[in-house]
Structure 1
Amino acid sequence: MVNTDLERFKDSIKKGIAEYNKYRSPEAKAELLKIGKDTIIVKFTGSYCRTCGVYDYFEDLIYDLMDHTNLKFKILKVEEKPDLTHIVTFKLNNKI
């Protein structure tokens, strides 16, 4: 397990999310909700939820985060809300 407090990477995480939104909004928009010790929680909104490959949108954020933080994440949990938004928990992953 990588022992890193992700709060140190807050600015880089926000830059990764901003880059994600630059190329995918309004079809998909990511919003940082919370940073934990080894997890981040992101809310996804947009029309992507009515298309095939919903998980692809979540996985795409992993690459933007890696570009800005040099850290690897994996999807830990996906929660679909009644309003068709998704709350996704990403966990720091030391296996690259």
Structure 2
Amino acid sequence: MNEREKLEEVLREFNRFHGSEAEARILKMEGDEVIIEFEGSFCATCGLYDYFDDIKWEAMDFGLELEPLEVLEAEEDEFEHGRYVVRYRLGRRPTIGMGIAETGKG
């Protein structure tokens, strides 16, 4: 599974858990930068930025590092609905090797 596929799976999981409040989708993925759009009513008692961080924690389960960097766009209407576009830095989490397979020595 490549990084894009992993990230799409991360967003599927996020949307499964948060879909009644907020849904996320990839707008752009280039190099180590990912732009994700969040749209929904968002829980009023939760911190808005918690939604952006939840993606980060989900990504860890798929071996990805995803760090929110900045909110690029924020739109809210009077009916408790919003749309936010967030820029993330994408990286791979280091994996622990056993040494033998990596060096070919045994």
Letter of the 2:75 partner, please give it: P
Structure 1 runs of 4+ with >4 Å offset: 49-52, 93-96
**After superposition, where does 1:72-83 map in structure 2 within 5 Å?**
72-83=65-76
Number of residue pairs the alignment of both structures matches: 88
Shift of 1:49: 6.8
Q: Secondary structure at the match of 1:85?
A: strand
Work out the percentage of aligned pairs sharing the same amino acid. Answer: 33
Shift of 1:26: 1.9
Partner deviation per Cα, 1:27-77 (whole Å, 9 max, x = no partner): 011011111100111000111175540000000011112212x12121111
1:54 maps to which residue?
Answer: 48
Structure having the larger proportion of residues in helix? 1
> TM-score under structure 1 normalisation?
0.78
> TM-score under structure 2 normalisation?
0.72
* Partner Cα separation in structure 2 for residue 63 and residue 34 of structure 1: 20
* Partner Cα separation in structure 1 for residue 42 and residue 13 of structure 2: 17
Structure 1 pair 19–95 and aligned structure 2 pair: CA distance change class (3 A): closer
Structure 1 gap ranges (5+): 1-7
For CA contacts below 8 A with separation 6 or more, give which structure has more relative contact order: 1
Q: For the aligned residues, what is the CA RMSD?
A: 2.2
Which protein is bigger by CA-based radius of gyration? 2
1:92 maps to which residue?
Answer: 90
Structure 1 pair 32–52 and aligned structure 2 pair: CA distance change class (3 A): same
